[in-house]
Amino acid sequence: MNRIFATKAGSNVYRLRIPWRPLSNDAAPLLSSQNAGNPEKESEAKQYDIAIVGGGMVGLALACSLASRPLTRHLNVAIIDSNPALGRKHFIKKEDLPDPRVSTITPATISFFKDIGAWQFVEQHRHAYFDKMQVWDYTGLSYAKYNARDADKEVLGCVVENKVLLSSLLSRVQETDLPKKIYPSRLNSMSILPNSSSSEVDSTLSMTALFTHGRLAKLELEDGNSLYAKLVVGADGGKSRVRELAGFRTTGWNYSQNAIICTVEHDVENHCAWQRFLPSGPLALLPIGDKFSNIVWTMSPKESSEFKSITEDNFLKAVNRALDYGYGPHPTPSILGSSDLFSWLKGGISKSANDCFEIPPKVIKLASERMAFPLSLRHANDYASKRVALIGDAAHTVHPLAGQGVNLGFGDASTLSSVISEGIAVGADIGEVSLLKKYEADRKPANVMMMAVLDGFQKAYSVDFGPLNILRAAAFHGAHHISPLKKSIISYASGETRLPLFA
Amino acid sequence: MASSMFLAQRRWFLSLPRNLSNARFFSALPSEHPVSVSGPQNNVGPESNKFEKASSAPSSLKEPELAKWDSEGPFKPLHKMNPTRLAFLRSTLCRHFRKDPLSARPFEGLRFIDVGCGGGILSEPLARMGATVTGIDAIEKNIKIARLHANLDPTTSTIEYCCTTAEKLVEEQRKFDAVIALEVIEHVADAAEFCKSLSALTAHEGATVVSTINRSMRSYATAIVAAEYLLQWLPKGTHQWSSFLTPEELTMILKRAGVDVKEMAGFVYNPLTGRWSLSDDISVNFIAYGTKEK
């Protein structure tokens, strides 16, 4: 499993992915002579315990989580991200219109944020809790309404703009006394050598020597800086450079769908999350607060470029139509029988089972530009190898239809920091594969399960076929009326249980 | 060249009686030479010379030494068990020395000795936890491997490794705050004498920790039949079932040596998850923590 990774073109000694063999004595003097020629560069490079490549929401969440644990709060952390916002304080103004890039935060993530001390910062900015959800499709055969009270909770989730999450995590990390340094640059190359022992007994403990013997990873940045780290965490998103450099293989496919996102305004407050499955993809309307809502409309790439370019008025009309009478009728309860049919399965009164179908509030104004991006599913075959671990979108990207993506990433950050803490408790080297594999063994099954569920939904809803439509409607109906099922769906979507239905 | 050396070592090993192992395999390291049996002792001479010759050529040193520290290699079961042993040590010793269990280096300022340290797989984590560690082993090759590996990390390069025995250190009147002898006592000839040495090395108000394998039907089935023959985790003949100690016997000989056993725990292996965990089940592997009475 020990591999040799690609390095900058200038260094010719090591090549990509050759089978592991013990370093012979020939290589060591060659390397030391190379470095002997650059004494200044060597003194510039610094050593860190953990280098987090990618200072996005998930990367910063990992840093906050490490800062909040007693065993890891002394670790030296480097954060590598070229985003200039990380160098600024308070880059959000209260009067800003909501940014269309938002995330739906599950209750499990909210409690994670509270644990790491970042939620207090989120509450200072715009955020919207919602406790109701209505899901239906274009066939008009059925609908399902979820209420947080069905599962004895207060909220189903909270919708927060990504820039608010980022700034809250950044504020929290700046406030803690975790030894950290932000490198405003991009990762150029990374190398990790296989383990070997020094043949001298009194070896020097210079960083170069440690790197040569596989004890440290060496990172080179685009601005010329280099640094060494015991563990490199790839939190750099769906097109992760760390994942590419470390040679992780991925499985996945592109959905032939794009998503259009934008912010819209209503003339009434909206506290419910609405999602309607249309023939070419779901349309979701999520409350952001202050009478604003966020739209995520999934459709084919051709339609998405069309909708992006039509006038604002026409776009708003199309949205209202899609949420209301367009594509198919409203669902009425009488089509598949009333709730009495399932009364014997109810197992308790589901409060929202008697809620009628509602039409979402009308959209009156467009409050931001429309953005479109392609959707895909991607999953790294492994999350960890020697001295490297992947978290967040670098490890997995999913369909946005259930708002789960970033929540899986926060789950990764939380688990990785707890695994690192356990490793320090037993005096382990934090870059050891056996320790990092524990993180993978914990997160992979949960992530794969969620991806399978979401992918299943995506496939089930992209086919317009009579019997399948009826099946889907029956599923809606069942979820709406059978309260143990509804409870377990809400629990799973809230991030409280790891497996649906088997809790 | 390296592989032929390796093969030569294997064949040689099979012809030897137990105990005198090939230092490749950690658990067969006696920290004491068996005093009563003179035959095997003589064999140590030429065999260890062979080792010296082997170790002088750097390339042939690499393979067996790296195998010891390769957590996916032949020592995988030991690497898997290590975190569990360390968790027990951390919890009992933090309590004993009244140190903060949430500190990253709770054993700062304490002197520990790892008797029968092998390649240093226990010594290094203890050093990372802040202890001043001395590791001893009767086999020179193990000490060499341990030193080379420990030098690669600034936190572990301070470990003092000596090729010596517990008795010799007692003669030198060395004292340690905690004396730790894991998976060693089942390989010594006289367990009672060994415990007396461990006790003599323990300082006033210090701690002694011993781990071994129980002598029970279950341990015969798991540690001998399964581990040596079926799963081949250990070479055949590594352990002699009759020389295992029951927890009661161990408690008694420690008591006679002046160490009061305060806590005992077992290690249980879950074949489905491949993980070891601490439990109350002391029927196979168990560990005992005791304090020096006066």
Stretch A374-386: mean pLDDT, rounded?
A: 91
To the nearest whole angstrom, how far is the Cα of B97 from the nearest Cα of chain A? 16
Q: Which of B152, B267, B270 to mutate to test the interface with A (most CBs of A within 10 A)?
A: B152
For helices A107-116 and A405-425, angle between their N-to-C axes, nearest 10 degrees: 40
CA separation for the pair A468, A464 (Å, rounded): 7
Taking contacts as CB-CB distances below 8 angstroms, the residues of chain A near B128 are: 427-429
Q: Across B194-284, where does the E strand assignment appear?
A: 202-213, 259-270, 275-279
CB contact at 8 A, A199 and B58: yes
pTM of the shown model: 0.81
pLDDT of residue B6: 44
What phi, psi does A41 have (nearest 5°)?
-60, -40
Q: Cite the annotated binding site of B for S-adenosyl-L-methionine by residue number.
A: 85, 116, 137, 182
Closest by CA to B270, choosing from B262, B259, B281, is B281
> Pick from B71, B125, B149: which is nearest to A427 by CB?
B125
Spans in chain B with pLDDT lower than 70: 1-68, 71-74, 294
CB contact at 8 A, A406 and A57: yes
Indicate the domain borders of chain A. 46-195+207-334+346-494
- Give A47-86 pLDDT, tens digit per residue: 999 999 999 999 999 999 999 999 999 999 999 999 888 8
Joined together, the tokens standing for residue B33 give 């030479």
Question: Does the CB of A434 have a partner CB in chain B at under 8 Å?
Answer: yes
B148–A196: do the CB atoms touch at under 8 Å? Answer: no
Question: Does the CB of B68 have a partner CB in chain A at under 8 Å?
Answer: no
pLDDT of residue A280: 85
Stretch A368-373: mean pLDDT, rounded?
A: 89
pLDDT of residue A228: 94
Residues in B 157-176 with any Cβ partner in A closer than 8 A: 157
The DSSP bridge partners found for residue B133 are B112
Task: Please give the CATH superfamily to which domain B70-292 belongs.
Answer: Vaccinia Virus protein VP39 (3.40.50.150)
To the nearest whole angstrom, how far is the Cα of A479 from the nearest Cα of chain B? 35
Direct distance between the N- and C-terminal alpha carbons of chain B, in angstroms, rounded to an integer? 55
Chain A residue with minimum CA distance to B149: A197
Burial class (CB in 10 A: 0-12, 13-18, 19+), A42: middle
Q: Is the pLDDT of residue A428 over 80?
A: yes
Joined together, the tokens standing for residue A495 give 């991030």
The DSSP bridge partners found for residue A275 are A135, A284
Residues 6+ apart with CB under 8 A from A453: A402, A500
A427–B63: do the CB atoms touch at under 8 Å? Answer: no
Taking contacts as CB-CB distances below 8 angstroms, the residues of chain B near A195 are: 66, 69-70
Residues 6+ apart with CB under 8 A from A217: A51, A190, A191, A192, A211, A228, A229, A230, A231, A232, A387, A388, A431
A205–B157: do the CB atoms touch at under 8 Å? Answer: yes
Residue B112's CB: how many other CB atoms inside 10 A?
Answer: 27
Chain A residue with minimum CA distance to B89: A426
Residues 6+ apart with CB under 8 A from A398: A377, A404, A405, A408, A450, A451, A454, A455
To the nearest whole angstrom, how far is the Cα of B139 from the nearest Cα of chain A? 17
pLDDT of residue A401: 77
Task: Please give the CATH superfamily to which domain A46-195+207-334+346-494 belongs.
Answer: FAD/NAD(P)-binding domain (3.50.50.60)
A427–B157: do the CB atoms touch at under 8 Å? Answer: no
Q: Is the pLDDT of residue A282 over 60?
A: yes
A71–B102: do the CB atoms touch at under 8 Å? Answer: yes
Stretch A202-214: mean pLDDT, rounded?
A: 75
What phi, psi does A10 have (nearest 5°)?
-65, -30
Joined together, the tokens standing for residue A322 give 């899609």
Chain B residue with minimum CA distance to A202: B151
The complex's ipTM?
0.75
Query: Mean pLDDT over all residues of chain A?
Result: 82
Question: Does the CB of B278 have a partner CB in chain A at under 8 Å?
Answer: no
CA separation for the pair A107, A307 (Å, rounded): 33
Question: Does the CB of B94 have a partner CB in chain A at under 8 Å?
Answer: no
CB contact at 8 A, B251 and B262: no
Grade residue A30 by pLDDT with cuts at 50, 70 and 90.
Answer: very low
SS (H, E, C) A325-353: CCCCCCCCHHHHCCHHHHHHHCCCCCHHH
- Give A456-492 pLDDT, tens digit per residue: 888 887 777 777 788 888 888 788 877 788 888 888 8
Question: Does the CB of A429 have a partner CB in chain B at under 8 Å?
Answer: yes
Direct distance between the N- and C-terminal alpha carbons of chain A, in angstroms, rounded to an integer? 35
B66–A197: do the CB atoms touch at under 8 Å? Answer: yes
Q: Cite the annotated binding site of B by residue number.
A: 85, 116, 137, 182-183, 186-187
Grade residue A136 by pLDDT with cuts at 50, 70 and 90.
Answer: confident
Give chain A's largest Cα–Cα span. Answer: 84
B90–A24: do the CB atoms touch at under 8 Å? Answer: no
CA separation for the pair A351, A353 (Å, rounded): 6
pLDDT of residue A411: 94
CA separation for the pair A433, B24 (Å, rounded): 22
Indicate the domain borders of chain B. 70-292
